Structure 1
Amino acid sequence: MDKIIHAEVTPHPPRVAKPTLNFWQIFNMSFGFFGIQFGWDLQRANMGPIYEYLKATPDQIPLLFLAAPLTGLIVQPIIGYLSDRTWHPWWGRRRPYFFVGAVLSTFCLFFMPNSGALWMAAGLLWILDTSGNIAMEPFRAFVADKLPERQRTRGFAMQSLMIGLGGSIASALPWILSNLFNVSRKSVNGNIPDSVKFAFYIGGTIFLLAVLYTIFTTKEYPPADIGFKEKVKESNKGFGGGAREIISSIKNMPVKMKQLALVQFFTWPGLFLMWFYYSTAVARTVFGASSETDPIYTKGVEFAGLTLSFYNVVAFIFALIIPLVARKLGRKLTHSVCLFCGAAGLIAVGFV
């Protein structure tokens, strides 16, 4: 009778339960998002006017803004792929990307308002959007990495709070500097006003300090997912292996995600058009500025930033209410109602 050989099966190591974090620990790990969103909203509210200060025509502005969608499309999956396969005893898994993204973003925010030509501003925006995505993308996975399942809603709520606060202050910052601190809003010889310059300097500083605060106050756990070594082994196959895995993940998305992706495809054009033209439209149409050198122009741009600040506050407050509405209407109908309200708001801008 043949001898039966039983292969020894090594069980997977048990997953270590993640400890419950207190309020300040969740605050610390989320505070970096305050700085990241500060940088995002500062450029969203002011890049259109900056391009016009540098003599861009309205039809050129969408092309100059191509950095945002293209870098997001390319950089986000790559950074997600790489950060899932990264581990360093001190830096951890996500924090190296926080640091690199914050340093590069700060560099761009400091130099952006000193751009002397369109090509320089456009190039800096490409780098800024790339580095912003490098810092932001791993932050989304940070909650799942650090928090047990029962605390993840609280973690995402804290991130939403940081996003709302950062966006609100950043959007209103040029107005605050001009009206509360008497920083000049005049555009001398078509140059970018001091109120915008100092807003970007402050924004770059806040971006870096907020991310550094999270890096130095938050530690990461070693990867506990069973497939981590396999992921690392796959990544060692080079760019081709990574590209194949990303493409495979897109192809094998659940049906619901594909349907949602289609909805998102038709949602984002409206948002991007708002970011392209809202500030300049308020300055020219509502305030009646004749050109970017008109003193009223900067005043209109600042007021547009103030309204965008209010928009962030409303969005944050409503984000707290949405779960209650979704319980009554269901998530699908709630999403539909929100999209309808957003579309109505964008259409209404044309009648102001």
Structure 2
Amino acid sequence: MSTVSATRPRQSWAGLWNISFGFFGIQIGFALQNANMSRIFQSLGTSLDDLPALWVAAPLTGLLVQPVIGHLSDRTWLGRLGRRRPYFLLGSILAALALILMPESPGLLMAALLLWLLDASLNISMEPFRAFVGDQLDKDQHAAGYAVQTAFIGAGAVFGSIFPWLLEHFGVSNQAPGGGIPDTVRVAFWFGGAALFLSVLWTVLTTREYSPAEMAAFHGDDAADDSHTTRVLAARGHGTSLLWIAAGAMVAGAVALWGLEKEVYLLGALLAGYGLASIIAVSRAKAGRPISMLGHIVGDFAGMPVLMRRLAVAQFFSWSALFIMWINTTPIVTSAFYGAPDAQSPAYQQGANWVDVLFATYNGVAAVAALTLLPWLSRRFGQVRTHIVGLLCGAAGFASFFWVSDPQLLLASEVGIGIAWASILAMPYAILASSLPQRKLGIYMGLFNVFVVVPQLLVATVMGSITKHFFPTEPIWTMAFAAATLLLAALAMMRVPVEVR
């Protein structure tokens, strides 16, 4: 019979490696998606104006999946597999299949459906990994745990981003006769599927999860959390819920009145849908009925700690900038730096491969910064100020796209972006992990990731309208929006209390 301790044993560096190694493969999948999906869509015949619409499935899926998976993983126990690892494993299998099938897409519809499956699967695996660090480590190792996780994210993204470029240099064809998806992308996606599954399998096989009894010894019973959520819901009226519904109706009206992109209707539907879900959850709580998963999600969202709310604002602006970059870097570099907006031209494919190198650069910088620069800054200035510095570095990196004309010099731009990326992946989670209720770490991490996903959905819908109306042939101006939103994120971080060191 195992002895239950009130504190977790400290993990060695090997233990920290095993806990987060699965994220290496998950990020290979994300990197292949981020660097190549616009390329795949354009190669299959879509126009620049339609790219944001095709990307809508990814953030919408994350918005719906992450809170649900977070809630379920807090309450799952499947014997030797535990509570987080079943989701790692399921998500990795589905994501690997999507990656293998993606380059075989015969048309845009199949590619868009596989993007939806890929993003849903990556979210199923990714969300519990954030909570897994908090499960496995005591508070004094949270910063180290998320730094190692960020390093694996950066390393995985380097492999995923640069692999098509490497394949070309090893003789794999970067041209597709008659159009379509070149072999460099095809082989890279197949490799990525295998690497994703095997790395997640490594974490599943080399770690063990603390049993429900051990978790109860660390944190007590869950009943108090359930009763708190019920009280929060029962104390609410329906006024706020009706405001959410009204906001959704106003968004839909604006689309019809001003002729915005039809995908913006999704924003209205989401706002109204949350309002309806809130009415249902509040009504059930007032009637004294048992709290459901919907009630937990709505109640925990409404009852987020103040620190989490303030961090969420910074997170919202940070990820707006990142999604602008992921959607637009390929068309920006190929058109503004290689003079090749036509996806079928050799110059376009050369520029698209250079984007892979740029993405690998910022991810490589992030991996190094996560283990060196950020810990050094955090020890001296604290995590909040360190994050502000990181965001300002990213804003400078995006703005520098307007200062250079040689695509080689964009490597310097990616250094600033890489520092920001490392900080975005590590600092908010390190700040949160020690302040959130550990029994509900999964659901809170899932809800926090709503502020990762919502800005992506906004960019995928609203940015398309902005680009089409103001600079339809000059996507480089989207980088000005990216720089501005990172500045807003830095300003938002100034409202987060500076920790006592």
Q: TM-score normalised to the size of structure 1?
A: 0.89
Match of 2:326 among 252, 275, 279: 275
For the pair 1:202 / 2:191, whether they are aligned, the reply is: yes
Match of 2:116 among 126, 134, 142: 126
SS at match of 2:339: coil
Moved more, 274-283 or 80-89: 274-283
Q: Distance in 2 between matches of 1:158 and 1:261?
A: 22
Please show how residues 37-56 of structure 1 align to structure 2 within 5 Å.
Answer: 37-56=27-46
Please show how residues 143-162 of structure 1 align to structure 2 within 5 Å.
Answer: 143-162=133-152
Counterpart position of 1:309: 360
Q: Is the 8 A contact 2:159 2:360 kept in 1?
A: yes
Q: Distance in 2 between matches of 1:298 and 1:58?
A: 15
SS at match of 1:219: coil
Task: After TM superposition, give the deviation of residue 329 of structure 1 in Å.
Answer: 4.0
Task: After TM superposition, give the deviation of residue 15 of structure 1 in Å.
Answer: 4.8
Q: Distance in 1 between matches of 2:382 and 2:207?
A: 36
SS at match of 1:187: coil
Match of 2:300 among 243, 249, 268: 249
For the pair 1:342 / 2:394, whether they are aligned, the reply is: yes
SS at match of 1:19: coil
Q: Distance in 1 between matches of 2:119 and 2:354?
A: 25
Counterpart position of 1:5: none
Aligned length: 338
Q: Distance in 1 between matches of 2:19 and 2:314?
A: 31
Unaligned runs of 5+ in 1: 1-12
Q: Distance in 2 between matches of 1:342 and 1:149?
A: 28
SS at match of 1:60: helix
Q: Is the 8 A contact 1:187 1:295 kept in 2?
A: no
Q: Is the 8 A contact 1:188 1:293 kept in 2?
A: no
Counterpart position of 1:227: 221
Q: Is the 8 A contact 2:334 2:340 kept in 1?
A: yes
Letter in 1 for 2:164: P
Q: Distance in 2 between matches of 1:214 and 1:147?
A: 15
Structure 1, residues 130-152: CA drift from partner, whole Å, max 9, x if none?
11000011111111222233333
Q: Distance in 2 between matches of 1:294 and 1:277?
A: 18
Q: Distance in 1 between matches of 2:107 and 2:142?
A: 45
For the pair 1:104 / 2:94, whether they are aligned, the reply is: yes
Q: Distance in 1 between matches of 2:199 and 2:163?
A: 17
Letter in 1 for 2:221: G
Match of 1:211 among 200, 218, 225: 200
Letter in 1 for 2:386: T
Structure 1, residues 243-280: CA drift from partner, whole Å, max 9, x if none?
11111111111222212222222222221111001023
Letter in 1 for 2:9: P
Q: 1:139 to 1:331 in 2, by over 3 A?
A: closer
Letter in 2 for 1:50: I
Please show how residues 75-94 of structure 1 align to structure 2 within 5 Å.
Answer: 75-94=65-84
For the pair 1:176 / 2:227, whether they are aligned, the reply is: no
Q: 1:328 to 1:219 in 2, by over 3 A?
A: closer
Counterpart position of 2:437: none
Q: 1:26 to 1:324 in 2, by over 3 A?
A: closer
Q: Distance in 2 between matches of 1:34 and 1:173?
A: 14
Counterpart position of 2:335: 284
Counterpart position of 1:19: 9
Q: Is the 8 A contact 2:150 2:366 kept in 1?
A: no
Q: Percent identity?
A: 43
Task: After TM superposition, give the deviation of residue 228 of structure 1 in Å.
Answer: 4.5
Task: After TM superposition, give the deviation of residue 54 of structure 1 in Å.
Answer: 0.9
Structure 1, residues 70-113: CA drift from partner, whole Å, max 9, x if none?
22222111111000000011211111101110000001000111
Q: Is the 8 A contact 1:164 1:315 kept in 2?
A: yes
Task: After TM superposition, give the deviation of residue 239 of structure 1 in Å.
Answer: 11
Q: CA RMSD in A?
A: 2.5
Task: After TM superposition, give the deviation of residue 154 of structure 1 in Å.
Answer: 2.8
Letter in 2 for 1:89: G
Q: Distance in 2 between matches of 1:193 and 1:172?
A: 15
Q: TM-score normalised to the size of structure 2?
A: 0.63
Task: After TM superposition, give the deviation of residue 195 of structure 1 in Å.
Answer: 0.2
SS at match of 1:190: coil
Counterpart position of 2:273: none
Q: Distance in 1 between matches of 2:358 and 2:401?
A: 12
Match of 2:350 among 290, 299, 307: 299
Counterpart position of 1:28: 18
Match of 1:186 among 175, 196, 203: 175
Q: 1:151 to 1:329 in 2, by over 3 A?
A: closer
Counterpart position of 2:253: none
Q: Is the 8 A contact 1:186 1:298 kept in 2?
A: yes
Q: 1:187 to 1:239 in 2, by over 3 A?
A: farther
Please show how residues 316-335 of structure 1 align to structure 2 within 5 Å.
Answer: 316-319=367-370, 320-335=372-387
Structure 1, residues 306-327: CA drift from partner, whole Å, max 9, x if none?
0111111112222331233244
Please show how residues 3-14 of structure 1 align to structure 2 within 5 Å.
Answer: none
Task: After TM superposition, give the deviation of residue 16 of structure 1 in Å.
Answer: 4.2
Q: Is the 8 A contact 2:161 2:357 kept in 1?
A: yes
Q: Distance in 2 between matches of 1:152 and 1:264?
A: 19
Q: 1:142 to 1:333 in 2, by over 3 A?
A: closer
Counterpart position of 2:53: 63
Task: After TM superposition, give the deviation of residue 231 of structure 1 in Å.
Answer: 7.7
SS at match of 2:30: helix
SS at match of 1:288: coil
Counterpart position of 1:258: 309
Q: Distance in 2 between matches of 1:144 and 1:24?
A: 17
Q: Distance in 2 between matches of 1:81 and 1:176?
A: 40
